[in-house]
Amino acid sequence: MIPREIAPGVYAVGAVDWERRLFDGLIPLPQGTSYNSYLVRGKGGTVLLDTVDPSKREVLLENLRELRVKELNYVVVHHAEQDHSGSLPAVLQEYPEAKVLAHPKGKELLQLLLHVPGERVREVGDGEILSLGDKTLQFFHAPWVHWPDTMFTYLKEERILFTCDFLGSHLATSALQADEVEVYPAAKRYYAEIMMPFRSQVRKNLERV
């Protein structure tokens, strides 16, 4: 996937995995899957929202190079599962000045699972706001919407909510808009297979967002 601007200063920089047929060792992927990662550029800083599965780290890094990202201020990790965080070590090596922003439980998991140095991770509070000058990010904790460290990010100026795995689906496609591809069967299957055990937390956070 080549990087594409989806809103002013907001770029899709993730990767499509056309060949993957199994997730977490047991969930069939008849249509492959995608790893969503987004770059937000403001006048006062640049933020990467999630990385990609480690098998696709070079796709992510090449997308950042194509956008001429010379400095990265923050990497937001919405939760520590590998399809979101697996390329974090490579990104941090490429951008040694970058700090990681994560749920407090996420900091613990990133240190445990990926051996990310604790001094490179900053815990963000529920409702905390990060200003990028002309862009404002707000973070919302959503624990146990699949993982204990799940959180969402809201880009206020563009009214974009980055929802981690909430409202997700396993679908390999180069389309970026929901009306460009038949997403509903995959989304229903995803909810039934992954989110259903956490439905009480899903309802709670749906009311919130």
Q: Are 130 and 108 in contact (CB under 8 A)?
A: no
How confident is the model at residue 177, as a pLDDT? 65
Domains present along the chain, CATH in parentheses: 4-208 (3.60.15.10)
Q: Which residue has the higher pLDDT, 200 or 134?
A: 134
pTM of the model: 0.90
Mean pLDDT, residues 145-163 taken together: 96
- Band (199; pLDDT cuts 50, 70, 90): confident
- Band (188; pLDDT cuts 50, 70, 90): confident
For residue 53, give every residue at least 6 positions away whose Cβ sits within 8 Å of its Cβ, in sequence order, or none. 15, 17, 35, 82, 83, 86, 87
- Please provide the DSSP assignment of 70-98 as one string: ----EEEES--SHHHHTTHHHHHHH-TT-
Task: Provide the sign of the torsion angle of the four alpha carbons 109, 113, 115, 121, taken in this order.
Answer: negative
Share of the chain above pLDDT 70, in %: 96
pLDDT, one tens digit per residue, over 113-122 is 999 999 999 9
Q: Which residue has the higher pLDDT, 156 or 166?
A: 156
